Amino acid sequence: MAVTQQRAEGVAVITGAASGMGEAAARLMAEAGWPLLICDLNVDALALAAERLGASGPVETLAGDISGTDYPDRLAAALGDRPVGALIHCAALSPTMAGPERILEVNLAAVMRLVDTVRPRMSSGAAAVLFASKAGHRLGPALDAPISQATTPEAVASLLAHAPESGAAYGISKRGVHLLVRREAGAFGRRGARIVSVSPTIIDTPMGRAEMQKYPVMQAIIDGSALSRLAQAEEVASVAVFLCSPAASYVTGTDILVDGGTADGNLALAS
């Protein structure tokens, strides 16, 4: 069986595209020639991002809260009858941005609804890349049983029993993304598509810097890593872009660590 070397047909959907990791991913995908549908909560910042990206090719926007109950229908309407050739899902909340319930809703329940929306629209050779975090690896398999049982967006609220504070909720949500990718790989594969997660550690973005201000110990963790520095958004986004390419055509159902050689520890870090 010959492996295709052509890019998958369809539009590239990028969430959280107005800033940080999402903006870097959108820019790299535009430079690679993808038509874009970029999504973000911030209407004004999204419009500015679309203006910047427009020089590289066609760009459409979809503003709104990804956790909104109407969001899947709005995304489906924006796509119309076009297939999805790539999804890079970057939108998320860090521990300093919300309480446990909201973090679980945005970082896991909304991701499940997003996957349900794009799955039947994925073209042959397409890929979905979901941003997780090193925090999911730090959590490890200790809570895999209850997380694995929360297989629907409605069931995610049950995980609040294991998330007394926002940091715990963040780690659980990102571990949930790891397990979601494993669970969905077969369904995507039957469409000739792939699904992967990417787990960075601390990235030099507004979100990452805010977490570092609240948790000074993060600097010590960075200093103790193999590369002894923060990741740049483009360094991590480029991995997502690679995973959407034909060069990664046999990578699915797994998580890719992009952590600069960060040592394992018990602190749940935000990406």
Dist. CA 117–CA 37, nearest whole Å? 14
- Give the pLDDT mean for 89-114: 97
Question: How sure is the predictor about 19, in pLDDT bands with cuts at 50, 70 and 90?
Answer: very high
- pLDDT reported for residue 267: 41
- pLDDT reported for residue 222: 82
Share of the chain above pLDDT 70, in %: 95
- pLDDT reported for residue 203: 81
Q: Comparing C-alpha atoms, which of 60, 67, 47 is closest to residue 13? A: 60
Question: How sure is the predictor about 6, in pLDDT bands with cuts at 50, 70 and 90?
Answer: confident
At 181, give phi and psi (nearest 5°).
Answer: -60, -45
Question: How sure is the predictor about 217, in pLDDT bands with cuts at 50, 70 and 90?
Answer: confident
Sign of the C-alpha dihedral computed for residues 198, 201, 207 and 211 taken in this order = positive
- Residue given tokens 């990791």 in the structure block: 21
- pLDDT reported for residue 16: 97
Q: Comparing C-alpha atoms, which of 4, 11, 190 is closest to residue 83? A: 11
Sign of the C-alpha dihedral computed for residues 133, 121, 86 and 110 taken in this order = negative
Of 212 and 25, more confident? 25
Question: How sure is the predictor about 262, in pLDDT bands with cuts at 50, 70 and 90?
Answer: confident
Question: How sure is the predictor about 86, in pLDDT bands with cuts at 50, 70 and 90?
Answer: very high
pLDDT score of 120 more than 90? yes
Architecture in CATH of 11-258: 3-Layer(aba) Sandwich (3.40)
Dist. CA 18–CA 24, nearest whole Å? 9
